[in-house]
Amino acid sequence: MKNIKQITWLLLFAIVGLAGACKKDPVMYNKGFTSFKFLVKDALGVEKQYVGTISDAEIVVELPIEVDVTNLKASFSLDNARTIVQVGKVVQENGVSANDFTQPITYTVKAEDKSTRNYSVRITKKSAIKSFGFYTEDNPSLAQNYMGVIKGMTIEVGLPETVNLTTLVARFETTTGATLKVGAVVQESKKTVNDFTAPVIYQFSDANFPTPINFTVSTYFLGRQWELFADKLTGQVTATGIKMAINPFTNNPFFVYTRSGKDESGATIANENKKVAVMGYNGTAWANLGNATGISEQRADVAGIAFNSEGTLYVGYKDYMNSENKSTVLKYNGTAWSVVGASRFSAVKTDYFSLAIAKDDMPIVSMAKNGTDNSGIPARGLYVAGFNGSTWNSITPPGGIVVFYDQIIRGLDGKIYVGIMDRGTGVNKPSLYKYENNVWSAVGPTSFTAPDLLVGFQVVSVAVDKNGEAYLAYQAAPSAGRINHIMKYNKTANVWQELGNPVSSGSEKDKFALAVDADGTLYFAYANASSVMVKTFNKNTNNWNTDRKVISEKVNEFDMQIAGDGTVYIVASIASDNGTVVYKYAK
């Protein structure tokens, strides 16, 4: 009987224990923050904490003016360790997860029974620029409003390249009592005009600060971006005379160059070993086509490069072999280079060699005659030759055209054009000629100038779109510096007209390039003392879009070409280390 009572009591204790275990633990359903703060390092690297005030469903944290709120990591504690904290669908880790607190953020605390509680986390500052942007109401040229992102003491605003940055009116809001100045000019929201082509410094004054604080407002371009595509392509070898061509099937870039400076071992390259070499992109990597130490027999320079319609690559150059200084053209069969016709075939000694492939795949070269001889071509005369499948034959324009420089291209209309710096009048002025049905004709007036009437310097760059619209860029040399003129031939008026205002290159001589894409967009690239800039012509506004800085370094030289898919490429030799880089602007 005693045993039965003991068993009964044990059963009762077990039942009571089970009942107790089945009761819901009220703690596991709590969904509250017990603390919320940010740990932020100051300018000296000292970490400081800023604790938020929790009030019902809102948490407010006051931060100093200089703190960037676009990438803050919150540290928090909860009254229930078994809850999940989310921002949207992203689970938040204490002290790890970063968020943009430009606007209030909703934190959701979820308990084990799937019930939730929301908290709105808001940042405040005693003194601040609360908003900054450019609005259509203040800038009629804008198609929409563009708001800036405030990152501590910097403000960034993305804008299309079609926007004129020189005359923008900003709309901004500050905390009460604060004032803004740019230089000595007090800024009025919605009224004051500034030039935003370079970062603008706004001085922020407030009673909370003994001295003004500077905010830097910078603009950047939306949409397509220039990006570094390849770096250090030729190692420590300096690439001079760089010219680029695009494979018509793969849309991949290739370039020819003369090896100079130091070779792969660090030894100085002797004159006789300054050979022409070629590099190309095969879709995954860059590689030399043929011998990396050069494909010419001996010294060569002023090279040209072009593809035919079948994707066969041609390269030509001034060939110094045997001191002949005449032209040689090679073609690449995919594994090796071979001579087209005969080596050093030109009837004249070569200067300013240029190469193009006609629509019927005939290679055509142009050059300025170097020196005097019995060829019938005058000194500094233009000489043009085409390859008929077995021999090179002169197709030189009649009249003994005297040039300083020449460039031959196949326009997107399929016709051959030669742009020259014409010396027929005794001074340098540009001219353009077209080769069609075996006949040369001038494109508009020859020996033309921009409205300033300044004579040309040396180089020209030519582009022709698929509709036959012809463009020519050249440089003029005023009393100081160099300015670039971009001209368009007006067929109706039979005149050459300047597009927009001339562009200053500072002291940089003949570092510019002109190209047009299949959609008719005209690109002009030029170098100054510290960068390479590119701009496009806007046919709707009949003016140039804002210049874009592509390379933020001084270059020795560069070339620009456009692929059939619209990707723009620039290959350049960087002055600081003579390294060879490629940038691209992809659609």
What is the dotted CATH code of the domain comprising 28-124?
A: 2.60.40.2340
Q: What would the DSSP string read from start to end of 535-562? A: EEEETTTTEEPPPEEEE-S-EEEEEEEE
* Alpha carbon distance 10, 18 (integer Å): 12
Sign of CA dihedral 433, 437, 438, 439: negative
3-class SS of residue 523: strand
Helix (H) or strand (E) holding 121: strand 116-124
Neighbours of 450 (CB within 10 A): 20
Sign of CA dihedral 501, 506, 509, 511: negative
Is residue 161 within 8 A of residue 536, CB to CB? The reply is yes
What is the dotted CATH code of the domain comprising 129-221?
A: 2.60.40.2340
CA nearest 314: which of 245, 234, 368? 245
Distance of CA 517 to the CA centre of its chain: 16
Tokens of 387: 């390859």
Whether the domain at 28-124 and the domain at 129-221 fall into the same CATH topology: yes
- Given the structure tokens 């879709």, which residue do they identify? 283
- Tens-level pLDDT at each residue, the chain (587 residues): 445 555 454 444 444 444 444 455 555 688 999 999 999 988 788 999 999 999 999 999 999 999 999 999 999 999 998 899 999 999 999 999 999 999 999 999 999 888 999 999 999 999 999 999 999 999 998 999 999 999 999 999 999 999 999 999 999 999 999 999 999 999 999 999 999 999 999 999 999 999 999 999 999 999 999 999 999 999 999 999 999 999 999 999 999 999 999 999 999 999 999 999 999 999 999 999 999 999 999 999 999 999 999 999 999 999 999 999 999 999 999 999 999 999 999 999 999 999 999 999 999 999 999 998 989 999 999 999 999 999 999 999 999 999 999 999 999 999 999 999 999 888 999 999 999 999 999 999 999 999 999 999 999 999 999 999 999 999 998 988 999 999 999 999 999 999 999 999 999 999 999 999 999 999 999 999 999 999 999 998 889 999 999 999 999 999 999 999 999 999 999 999 999 999 999 98
Domain ranges of the chain: 28-124, 129-221
